[in-house]
Amino acid sequence: MNKDDTRIIFATGNSGKMREIRMIMADLGLEICSMKEAGIELEIVENGTSFEENAMIKAAAIAREVKRRGGHAVVLADDSGLEVDYLNKEPGIYSARYMGEDTSYTVKNANIISRLAGVPDEKRTARFVCVIAAVFTDGASYSRRAVIEGRIGYEEKGENGFGYDPIFYLPEYGCSSAELSSEEKNRISHRGKALEAMKEVIREEMGL
Ligand code: ITT
C-alpha cells in the first residue's frame, strides 16, 4: 500500500466539525488533515437534496482534486444539520445556510426559538443528523448516517460545541449539547456515532 493511501483528508471548512472529527478519529492512528492543511481550496456547490447526496458531493469533489494533482488519500466528508419537527424539519440540509451563511448563530438560534414561541415541550422535538461519506483510493465509496434526538430549548445555554448546540436540549442529560464536554458530546452525538460506523468501514477497507 502506498504511504499516502493511509492519509485521510476531511473535506470540511468548518473548524467546529474538524475539532470533533480529530478527537473521534484519533484512535485510528492515521494521519488526518483538513482540506486547508492539504492545501486544497475548492468552492463546492452543495446542490444535493439529501445529507447523503451533499456528503458524497463534497467527498467526491475533493477526491477528484487529489487525483488531478496526482496524489493519493482517503477522502471523507460530513454533511449534517438540525431537523426541527415543528418547522417541518427545517433547517435540515440548509442548516449552515439558514438566514445566510454569514449570519451569527446568536441570531439563527434566537430566530428558531422565536418561531417556536408558545410551543409546548412535547412538540419541540428535533434531531441532529450526520452523514459521513468516504471515497477510497480505488474509487469505492460509502456513507454512514446517525442521529441524536433532543428538543429545542427556550434560551441558549452552554459555551461548548458550535452552531445550534446551545439551543439543542437533551432531556436525558438535563442540559444542552453545548453544556456537554467534548468527550461527552462525541460519545453520544450524531457525528460521533456516524464516524464510529465509518471507522469500521475504514478498518475493513484498509485492513487495519
Ligand atoms: P462543510 O460543508 O465545509 O463541512 P458546513 O458548516 O457548511 O461545513 P454543512 O453543510 O454540513 O457544513 O452544515 C452543517 C450545519 O449544521 C453546521 O454549520 C451547523 O449549523 C449545523 N450542525 C451540524 N452539526 C452540528 C453540531 O454537532 N452542533 C451544532 N450544530 C451543528
Residue 131 has pLDDT above 70, yes or no: yes
Q: Exposure of 111 by Cβ count < 10 A (0-12 exposed, 13-18 middle, 19+ buried)? A: middle
Q: Looking at the predicted structure, is the pLDDT value of residue 3 above 50?
A: no
pLDDT at 73: 93
User: Residue 2: is its pLDDT beyond 70?
Assistant: no
CB of 108 sitting under 6 A from ligand 1:
no
Across the range 139-144, mean pLDDT stands at: 97
This prediction's pTM: 0.97
Mutating to test ligand 1, I would choose from 10, 12, 14, 18 the residue with most ligand atoms within 8 A of its C-beta, which is 14
| 6 band by pLDDT with thresholds 50, 70 and 90 | confident
CB 82 near ligand 1, within 6 Å:
yes
**DSSP symbols for the chain:** --GGGGEEEE----HHHHHHHHHHHGGG--EEEETTTTT---------SSHHHHHHHHHHHHHHHHHHTT---EEEEEEEEEEEGGGTTEEGGGTTTTT-TTS-HHHHHHHHHHHTTT--GGG-EEEEEEEEEEE-TTS-EEEEEEEEEEEE-SS---SSS-TTGGGEEETTTTEETTSS-HHHHHHHSHHHHHHHHHHHHHHHHHT-
Q: What positions carry a catalytic annotation?
A: 79
Residue 1 has pLDDT above 80, yes or no: no
Note the pLDDT tens digit of each residue in 142-196: 999 999 999 999 999 999 999 999 999 999 999 999 999 999 999 999 999 999 9
7-206 to CATH, choices 3.60.20.10, 1.10.150.120, 3.90.950.10, 3.40.190.10:
3.90.950.10
Q: Which of 12, 15, 17, 49 is the pocket-test mutation for ligand 1 (most atoms within 8 Å of CB)?
A: 17
36 Cα–ligand 1 center, Å: 17
Q: Tell me the pLDDT band of 135, cut-offs 50, 70 and 90.
A: very high
Q: What pLDDT digit, counting tens, does each position of 24-80 carry?
A: 999 999 999 999 999 999 999 999 999 999 999 999 999 999 999 999 999 999 999
13 lines ligand 1 (CB under 6 A): yes
CA of 186 to the centre of ligand 1 (A): 15
